[in-house]
Structure 1
């Protein structure tokens, strides 16, 4: 499977520059809560430690005690764990529905890779289809997908799309895949037309 230096939220997964100091940003996901809960830690350069400490003290000066106590009870009584188990099962069902529909509707235009966890799956496009153009055309068909290249710092080895499924009920997943198939077929047709016109000019 093609790999690339992907980023989270538009930022490098680890590393950055702030006020001339090397500052590290690392995203960690709790094993118990994944993919519903995550933490982000920042490791500032030596000259920035005092500024970060002062900012943290200001931000945490008025922690909502009542909400914290309620959250503690919610977790200790097992409600959070039950919620996580229920949502994991739901997300897995929707992801499986997406993969099944993609294999039926998108054969030849998008190769969808099953995921064992998470809220998205990756669909690999043919080499001659631009991911950003494919995402834009899908939007015109009412389907919101993201080009894989938007999550990479360097060019990806193969174009692809990031397909989200967590918030979409199964019937809507199937409808969205049908629309996506129509949009990708149109993209492939446009690409072939451009290639043909290019060869005719060259001739």
Structure 2
């Protein structure tokens, strides 16, 4: 019971913090403001997080886990098909990772904070590397199910796809017309870095 209560407290703190960070900005947010929004004391906060930095990174880890879980479910829908269907799968990264405007704001806040604090930047880099690895594995599996193989390493392709997705999604919030370029650019990247698998099946370069 205590473990579940602690997990619920942590979840409420994360949710409240996300709302406050978006509304006020990470740099202008205090522990007290997060506690007030969540309905907890400072003691409850510090029993779960050592700092706002740790909480922000926990939000990142939570979001990345949700992205990977969603892509794993989408992977089951992939059938042997041309690159367009693989593009549809990779397009799920757009939906799962960046469709939420709140997450776009949080990601921007995280980037700004990391640029100002090298120690945070190192931790963010670790989270990003883990995301690239996991997304790269999923893209490689999706390519195999679609009858294609990668011509670059999975993590290299994941880096390119995530950079593309993040860039175009950010532009979309400023200019909705940019939405039209998402699928076109994803298709171009996948055509460049995948190919039809040989008779022995797909072989992924590592």
| Higher normalized strand content (fraction of residues) | 1
| Higher normalized helix content (fraction of residues) | 2
Same fold judged by TM-score > 0.5? Answer: no
Q: Which has the larger radius of gyration?
A: 1
Instruction: Indicate the TM-score class for this superposition, using the shorter chain for normalisation.
Output: under 0.3
**Please, what TM-score do these two structures have when normalized by structure 2?**
0.27
